[in-house]
Chains A and B, each alone.
Chain A
Amino acid sequence: MAEQVKLNIDGVDVQVEKGQSILDAAKKVNIRIPTLCHHEDLCVAGNCRVCVVEQEGKNTLTPSCATPAEEGMVIKTSTPKVRRARKDLMALLVSEHNTQCTTCYRSTNCELQDLAAEYNVDNNIYLSVLKENLEIDKSSWSIEKDDSKCIRCQRCVRTCAELQHVNALAVTERGRDMRISTFMHLPMNEIVCTNCGQCITHCPTGALTERRYYDEIWEAIDDPEKHVVINTAPSVRVALGEMLGFPVGTRVTGKMVTALKKMGFDSVLDTDFSADLTIIEEANELLVRLKDALVHKKDVALPMITSCSPGWVKFIEHMYPEHLAHLSSCKSPQQMFGALTKTYYAEKKGIDPSKIVSVAGMPCAAKKYEANRPEMRDSGYHDVDAGLTTREIGHMIKQSGINFLELEDSEFDSIMGESTGAGVIFGATGGVMEAALRTAYFVITGRPVPFDNLNITPVRGLKGIKETSIKFENCLPEYSFLEGVEAKFAIAHGLINARQIMDQIVAGESPYHFIEIMACPGGCIGGGGQPIPTNDEIRKKRIQAIYDEDMNKPIRMSHENPEIIKIYEDFLEKPLGEKSHHLLHTKYRKRKRY
């Protein structure tokens, strides 16, 4: 056992591991100390100072988040001195803040607002020192940056550095001019930013938000000429409830579908369908690459890496432009869905594709950017007209006056509403890998993957980089070239882990054949478009909900999805066929590193 220290907080003795903070120790005995710059995912900053406490023998107050607990410490967390100081600090933050809370997107979900209310801060006690003429940066398709709401806690800066290793945001200038900004204060669309949106989910206030599109969607819904289709990703249904009165980890799939229908969407479809489709295409792509390498001895790019996560795709385009060949050419499920909506769906339903508005409900900020990539127009139209985050959907449901808690369940519409458990688990880190292996193993051997209940547990969980291997034996004749091959797989989530994987590839030392990478910690369930807050505890609950949904599905392998079988029969003909290539695959572009 690690060395322990004993201290006393508010009269309660508590023992913690050496190195843990006073804040950690207080939590252990159920004493809540307010924080702002602190976040469980990030390193300690100690700069907002609202977590100060009284420490016996010191004539200044002690920041509890930044101070390690020490043997014999006597701490008081709620003395008049502490309360006065905290209230004063809150008043200072408010004096520097744009306090038009009534019009703020984060109103009622804002840590500053909560604490200011808790301490009943007098807005008029100090003069406003809010900088004048601050403009909101709306240049990015994904992220809006409003400096007038920034409290300079640097959570976004630490997120971008520690979780994502992108460092697009930095602290600039000094003193009263200090701010959170970009290289030379360039607009967000001109910098090296992956649009992952983790800065948004780690922002305590409304300084960083997703660019919102729901007004346009409402307009389309109200337009009788338009046929508005929405598909929702698996992670949305396991998190949306958090915004609408359900406990974390509640699956609200049926209620969500009902709500979206009530709101007026003409068709509510399931992104899981195209996730299943992605698996078919991607698994086949992998098999072709393996065959090319093993049989034809061609110089193909292995390991192959997934391309579902648009934050990750933009990351590799910026950071490793010479290694784009490793990416699967498959579009993400969102973009496959979009391309099919305005072709296959339109054809089957007999609707003029120019009248279709295709909307994607995603746990993601980067999907907004992805939808607007100029190359994503293979249907002849804008494949995806707009991407909405889980948060925007939550807001829209609230705007509609729907009593979500009491809503009955309903099923996704058809066509492109059918899915399998494999499509569902895309939402969790390791899910794409697991879904791919369930199908690939079956295709290669004709037998289900040799894991209890198809649950490939080594690829699950929140470890930053996970790996597993599978040996192919008794392969079908067509895949005899894989007989006895032990294929190696890795899964990374959070771009800092992606970087490790890539550095290995660059060095020529990657032992893997296939790698799943998701930009956001935890995978899509921890995406930049998910309800706030997100931390590991919440990620775990959302992941559990994903796997529960999987277990409840009658079909749990993508290739058994009847709608998938049908789309190949009726429309696409075969995996990696001509139509697939045109509609479901894409190319990547080199971008500047700095």
Chain B
Amino acid sequence: MSNIKLRKVDVIFSPYSVAPYEILKNAMKRSKDEVVQELIDSGLRGRGGAGFPTGLKWKFAKQQESDQKYVICNADEGEPGTFKDRKLLVEVPRKVISGMAICAWAVGASKGYIYLRREYRYLVSHIEEELELYHKFAKEAGLDFKIEIFMGAGAYICGEETALIESMEGRRGEPRNKPPFPIKNGYLGKPTVVNNVETFASATMVCRMGADEYKKLGTDDQRGSKLFSISGDSPKKGVHELELGMSLEDFANEFGDGDTKAVQVGGVAGFCIPKKQFKTTIIGEGNTTGGSTMIFNSTRSMYNVLHNYLDFFAEESCGQCTPCRVGTQQLLKGIEAVKSKKKPPEYLDQLVKLAETMRLTSKCGLGQSVTNSFSSIVKNFREEMIY
């Protein structure tokens, strides 16, 4: 484990320093393989949460033989505590769109979509304005890649890439069995790259800075910079861009209110880290990198926090697979029963085992990750669950 001092940087939100779509234009002067290699070399990983190496995803997509490929920007930001994508789309939509276009050009896609969560409908005209500029540029540059906005309709699970694709195909947003992965068999059965808003913006910056420069940021395990959505008991709520690799202790010192008891890293699908582990926890290492960080001070009841999460999961689970549909309900009812003394404290251990079954057997990331927050809260704040 290596960690570095907390450092605020200004990569993704750096002001536009070049003419519109200059980065895309420059990328298109190089060979496609070279650009994909640049992405691989940069060490950039998906910024949505799962952390798959972006360059590799593009490389696989490029290798697919198909008459049609798609590039989809996942702007279904629904993880509680996350709002960075909103800020990106408001402030630097061009970087997002450039990233999509570079990807499309490199992998050979001619059609792109921004899957925008329903709650962000008010951003449509703003994004469309930028898309108009982009399409004008694409026409001039002879780039055959058109982008449309696809509106979500209100479902957290559609942030899961195969659920998102189902939703775009006019169905219930239920995750698919994998394999096959979207890269082979995605939207309308065609190879499809789905990346998060921040991933595309970061890809643009990798092309702008070059892999060598980009990977100077961060540690060996995590390259580059990352946006953190900071909320909860913090005097500095908002989106902050930080170099990856800092310890949670530094983070809490910088952003907490001096009374921080725990930090939820990676949204409700991530881990709840108690104060005693701040020193040894590197944000993004072994936990998810979506960038949601919710800070809780000593006045907060961790039972209420967990109850809120579980209610969220039980509602936002798509409901198709047994462990997630029933498991989320059981965990919620279970902690209520322990709290109200209808079940003994030891029942919590049974529930931790259940959460592990959910991790092992759920169809998608939602059910698989419930155990992260559940077990970390139950183990670290057991008394609060009981009394």
Q: Spell out A's residues near B (CB within 8 Å).
A: 44-50, 52, 60-61, 63, 66-68, 81, 84-85, 88-89, 92-93, 95-96, 125-127, 129, 151-152, 154, 171, 173-178
Contact = CB atoms under 8 A, between A and B. Distances in A.
Interface string B1-17: 00000000000000000
A63 B328 CA distance: 20
17 contacts: A44-B177, A52-B360, A63-B361, A66-B177, A85-B361, A89-B323, A92-B354, A96-B326, A127-B337, A152-B320, A175-B314, A175-B315, A175-B318, A175-B325, A175-B328, A176-B319, A178-B318
A49 B323 contact: yes
A129 B333 contact: yes
Nearest to A178: B319
A176 B361 contact: no
A129 B334 CA distance: 11
B239 to A, nearest CB: 29
Output the residue of A45, A49, A63, A96 with the most chain B CB within 10 A. A49
Nearest to B320: A47
A30 B134 CA distance: 59
B111 to A, nearest CB: 27
B330 A89 contact: no
Nearest to A154: B320
B321 interface: yes
A151 B325 CA distance: 11
A152 B330 contact: no
B177 A67 contact: yes
Contact of B362 (A49, A81, A171): A49
A176 B321 contact: no
Nearest to B154: A174
B196 to A, nearest CB: 22
Output the residue of B320, B328, B334, B350 with the most chain A CB within 10 A. B320
B319 A49 contact: no
B373 interface: no
Nearest to B354: A88
A115 to B, nearest CB: 12
Contacts of B286: none
Contacts of A47: 320-322, 363
B84 interface: no
Output the residue of B179, B313, B323 with the most chain A CB within 10 A. B323
Q: 8 nearest interchain CB pairs?
A: A178-B319, A92-B326, A66-B177, A88-B357, A175-B317, A46-B177, A47-B320, A129-B329
Given A50-B322, A174-B317, 16 more contacts: A46-B177, A60-B361, A61-B361, A81-B360, A85-B361, A88-B357, A96-B325, A96-B329, A126-B334, A127-B330, A152-B320, A174-B172, A174-B315, A175-B314, A175-B315, A176-B329
B366 to A, nearest CB: 10
Interface in B128-175: 155, 157, 172, 174
Contacts of A61: 360-361
A126 B331 CA distance: 9
Contact of A127 (B315, B316, B328, B333): B333
B359 interface: yes
Contacts of A126: 330, 334, 354
B216 interface: no
B325 A176 contact: yes
Contacts of B318: 174-175, 178
Contacts of A178: 318-320, 325
Interface in B293-349: 313-323, 325-330, 333-334, 337, 343
A63 B177 contact: yes
A125 B333 CA distance: 13
Interface in B346-380: 350, 353-354, 357, 359-363, 368
B361 A175 contact: no
A422 to B, nearest CB: 46
Interface string B31-51: 000000000000000000000
A61 B353 CA distance: 15
Given A63-B177, A176-B314, A48 B322 contact: yes
A85 B360 contact: yes
Contacts of B179: 67-68
B207 to A, nearest CB: 34
Contact of A60 (B174, B328, B350, B368): B368
B15 to A, nearest CB: 42
A22 to B, nearest CB: 12
Given A49-B361, A88-B353, A129 B330 contact: yes
Nearest to A151: B322
A125 B179 CA distance: 34
A175 to B, nearest CB: 4
Contacts of B359: 60
A5 to B, nearest CB: 13
Contact of A176 (B315, B323, B337): B315
A126 B179 CA distance: 32
A178 B330 CA distance: 15
Contacts of A151: 322
Given A46-B363, A60-B368, A174-B155, A92 B328 contact: no
A85 B327 CA distance: 12
A49 B363 contact: yes
A92 B317 contact: no
A95 B320 contact: no
B317 A176 contact: yes
B361 A89 contact: yes
Contacts of B323: 49, 88-89, 92
Contact of A48 (B313, B319, B321): B321
A588 B333 CA distance: 53
Nearest to B157: A174
Contact of A175 (B316, B330, B353): B316
A89 B326 CA distance: 9
Contacts of B337: 127
Contacts of A88: 323, 353-354, 357
Nearest to B331: A126
A93 B177 contact: no
Contact of B357 (A84, A127, A152): A84
Contacts of A92: 322-323, 326-327, 330, 354
A560 B56 CA distance: 75
Contact of A152 (B325, B350, B354): B325
B315 A93 contact: no
A61 B322 CA distance: 14
Contacts of B327: 92
Given A46-B363, A85-B360, A95 B330 contact: yes
Output the residue of A45, A47, A175 with the most chain B CB within 10 A. A175
A19 to B, nearest CB: 11
A179 to B, nearest CB: 8
A89 to B, nearest CB: 5
B315 A129 contact: no
Output the residue of A48, A50, A126 with the most chain B CB within 10 A. A126
Contacts of B362: 49
Given A127-B334, A176-B314, A171 B320 contact: yes
Contacts of A176: 314-315, 317, 319, 325, 328-329
A156 to B, nearest CB: 14
A95 B315 contact: no
Contacts of B361: 49, 52, 60-61, 63, 85, 89
Nearest to A89: B322
A577 to B, nearest CB: 54
A85 B357 contact: yes
Given A52-B360, A127-B334, A129-B333, A174 B319 contact: yes
Output the residue of B177, B329, B337, B360 with the most chain A CB within 10 A. B360
B268 to A, nearest CB: 14
Contacts of A81: 360
A406 B5 CA distance: 86
A88 B354 CA distance: 7
Contacts of B343: 127
B362 to A, nearest CB: 7
B158 to A, nearest CB: 11
